[in-house]
Amino acid sequence: MPTSDPQQPTQAQPPKCWCLFDHPLTEEARALVKRQLDYARNVQDPQGMLIHLIRLTGDCPARRSQATILDTRSADEPSGDGGEGVAR
């Protein structure tokens, strides 16, 4: 029985963060973490602020693999400008 690597998402399965402090991978999840950070600021909770800042800014393998998938998809799509596309 083959095992799947949690760092390598498949087409059917979106990437999942396995870090100690889970990083948001969608815009909705980022908005939730931002609201949680605002709450931690309002109640003057420095540990909560630190954790939510780590969640927003920390390096995450799932985020890197998601960016690679998005870059690959955008490279495969036609640019719509009738030419070779925009240089990156």
Q: Is residue 52 part of a domain?
A: yes
Domain that holds residue 38: 27-72
Q: Is residue 10 part of a domain?
A: no
pLDDT digits (tens, 9 = 90+) for 38-84: 999 999 999 999 999 999 998 888 877 766 655 555 555 555 555 55
Q: Is residue 33 part of a domain?
A: yes
What pTM value is reported for the model? 0.58
Q: Is residue 66 part of a domain?
A: yes
DSSP labels for 34-65?
A: HHHHHHHHHTT-HHHHHHHHHHHHS--HHHHH
Contact 12/50 with Cβ under 8 angstroms?
no
Give the pLDDT confidence score for residue 15 in this predicted structure. 76
If one counts every other C-beta atom within 10 angstroms of the C-beta of residue 60, the result is 20
Work out the average pLDDT over 9-26: 77
Q: Is residue 9 part of a domain?
A: no
Q: Is residue 1 part of a domain?
A: no
Work out the average pLDDT over 28-41: 96
Instruction: Give, to the nearest 10 degrees, the angle between helix 46-57 and helix 27-42.
Output: 160
Q: How many domains would you assign to the chain? A: 1
